[in-house]
Chain A
Amino acid sequence: MSQMNMIQALNSAMDVALGSDPSVVVLGEDVGYFGGVFRVTDGLQRKYGEHRVLDTPIAEGGIIAVSIGMAVNGLKPVAEIQFVDYIYPGYDQIVSELARLRYRSAGAFSAPVVIRSPCGGGIRGGQTHSQSPEALFAHVCGIQVVIPSNPYDAKGLLLAAIDSPDPVLFLEPKRIYNGPFYGDPTQSAQSWSRHPLGEVPDGHYHVPIGVAKRVRVGHEVSIISYGTMVHVAQAAAEAMGVDADIIDVRSIVPLDVATIVDSVNRTGRCVIVHEATRFAGFGAEIAALVQEKCFWNLNAPIERVGGFDTPYPHAFEWEYFPGPKRIQAALTRVLEPK
Chain B
Amino acid sequence: MANRSRLHVPHAPARPGETPDFSYVRLSAAGALAKPDCTASLDACAELSEGLIRVLGDDHHAVGAWNPSVEAHELQVGLRTMLLTRLFDDRMVAVQRQGRISFYVKSTGEEAVAVAAGMALKNDDFLFPSYRQQGLQLVRGTKLVDLMCQLLSNTNDMCKGRQLPVLYHNAAAHLFSISGNLATQFPQAVGYAMACAIKGEDRVAASWIGEGSSAEADFHQALVFAGVYRAPVILKVVNNQWAISTFQGTAGGEQRSFAARGPGFGIPGLRVDGNDFLAVYAATQWAAERARRGHGATLMELVTYRVSGHSTSDDPSRYRSKDEPSAWPLGDPIERLKQHLMTMGVWSEAQHQALVAELEAEVAAAWTEALRYGALNEGPQLNPELMFEDVFHALPPLLQEQRAQWQQERDPS
A interface, CB within 8 angstroms of B: 25, 51-52, 56-57, 59, 61-62, 65-75, 77, 89, 92-93, 96-97, 101-110, 141-142, 144, 165-166, 210, 254-255, 257-258
Q: Does B8 contact A (CB under 8 A)?
A: no
Cβ–Cβ contact B162 & A106, under 8 A: yes
CB of B270 within 8 A of chain A? no
B187: shortest Cβ distance to chain A, in Å? Answer: 3
Residue of B nearest to A52 (CB): B198
In angstroms, Cα B189 to Cα A108, docked, is: 17
**Does A106 contact B159, Cβ atoms closer than 8 Å?**
yes
Inter-subunit contact B390/A102 (CB<8 Å): yes
Is the pair B198, A65 in contact by a Cβ cutoff of 8 Å? no
Cβ of B188 and Cβ of A97 under 8 Å apart?
Answer: yes
> CB within 8 Å of A: which of B139-182?
158-160, 162-163, 167, 169-171, 176-177, 179, 181
Q: What residues on B are CB-neighbors of A57 within 8 Å? A: 221, 224-225, 228
Interface size, B (range): 35 or more
| Minimal beta-carbon separation of B393 from chain A (angstroms) | 4
Q: How far is the CA of A103 from the CA of B391 in the complex (A)?
A: 5
A282 to B222, CA, bound (A): 34
Nearest residue (CB) in A for B187 is A65
User: Is residue B251 contacting chain A, with contact meaning CB distance below 8 A?
Assistant: no
Given known pairs A57-B228, A106-B159, A109-B176, the reply for A141 and B195 (CB within 8 Å) is: no
Return the contact of B218 from the options A61, A73, A108, A142 (Cβ within 8 A): A61
Given A57-B225, A59-B225, A62-B224: A69 in contact with B390 (beta carbons within 8 A): no
By a CB distance below 8 angstroms, the chain A residues around B390 are 102-103, 106-107
Residues B187 and A69 in contact, CB atoms below 8 Å apart: yes
Contact A73 B397 (CB under 8 A): no
CB <8 Å contact, B195 and A61: no
Q: A62-B187, A65-B218, A109-B176 are in contact. Are A104 and B225 (CB under 8 A)?
A: no
Complex alpha-carbon distance, A22 and B186, angstroms: 26
- Other-chain residue from A69, A101, A103 in contact with B191 (beta carbon distance below 8 A): A69
Residues of chain A contacted by B169 (CB below 8 angstroms) = 105, 108-109
Task: Please state if A72 and B176 are interface contacts (CB–CB under 8 Å).
Answer: yes
Given contacts A66-B194, A70-B195, contact A105 B184 (CB under 8 A): no
Task: Assess A73 versus B391: contact at CB under 8 Å? Given A65-B221, A65-B222, A254-B396.
Answer: no
Q: Are A59 and B126 in contact (CB under 8 A)?
A: no
**Distance between Cα atoms of A56 and B225 in the complex (Å):** 8
Query: How far does the Cβ of B278 sit from chain A's closest Cβ, in whole Å?
Result: 30
- A70 and B160 within 8 A (CB): no
Contact with A along B208-233 (1 / 0, CB 8 A): 00000000011001101100100000
Contacts A59-B224, A101-B177, A109-B169; A65 near B392 (Cβ below 8 A): no
Which chain B residues numbered 364 to 397 have a C-beta less than 8 Å away from chain A?
Answer: 389-393, 396-397
Contact B199 A73 (CB under 8 A): yes
B159 nearest CB neighbor, chain A only: A106
Q: How far is B191's CA from A61's CA once the two chains are assembled, in angstroms?
A: 12
B251 to chain A, nearest CB (A): 19
A52 to B197, CA, bound (A): 11
- CB atoms of A73 and B192 under 8 A apart: yes
**B contact residues around A101 at 8 Å (CB):** 177
The answer to whether B217 touches A61 (Cβ under 8 A) is yes
A110 touches B171 (CB 8 A): no
- Contact between B392 and A142, CB atoms less than 8 A apart: yes
Chain A minimum-CB-distance residue to B233: A69
**A-B interface, 4 closest residue pairs, ranked by CB to CB distance from nearest:** A69-B191, A66-B191, A62-B221, A65-B187
Min CB–CB distance A21 → chain B (angstroms) = 13
Pair A96/B184 contact, Cβ less than 8 Å: yes
In contact, B393 and A141 (Cβ under 8 angstroms): no
Cβ of B206 within 8 Å of any chain A Cβ, yes or no, is: no
Chain A residues with CB below 8 A from B162, complex form: 103-104, 106
Kindly name the residue among A57, A165, A257 whose own CB sees the greatest number of chain B CB atoms within 10 A. Answer: A57
Known contacts: A69-B194, A73-B199, A254-B398. The answer to whether A109 contacts B225 by CB under 8 A is: no
Within 8 Å of chain A (Cβ to Cβ): is B193?
yes
Tell whether B30 is near chain A: CB-to-CB under 8 Å.
no
Give the shortest distance, in Å, between A27 (CB) and chain B (any CB). Answer: 9
A59→B217 CA distance, assembly (Å): 9
In the bound complex, do residue B184 and residue A92 qualify as a contact, i.e. CB atoms below 8 Å apart? yes
A77 CB, nearest partner CB in chain B, Å: 8
Seed contacts A73-B195, A96-B181; 12 additional CB < 8 Å A-B pairs: A57-B221, A61-B217, A62-B225, A65-B222, A69-B191, A70-B194, A72-B176, A103-B390, A103-B391, A104-B162, A210-B396, A255-B398
Given contacts A74-B195, A108-B177, A109-B169, contact A69 B391 (CB under 8 A): no
Chain B proximity of A249: nearest CB distance (Å): 14
Q: Which residue of A lies closest to B180 (CB)?
A: A96
**Least distance between A197 CB and chain B CB atoms (Å):** 26
Give the docked Cα–Cα distance between A93 and B179 (Å): 11
The answer to whether B191 touches A67 (Cβ under 8 A) is yes
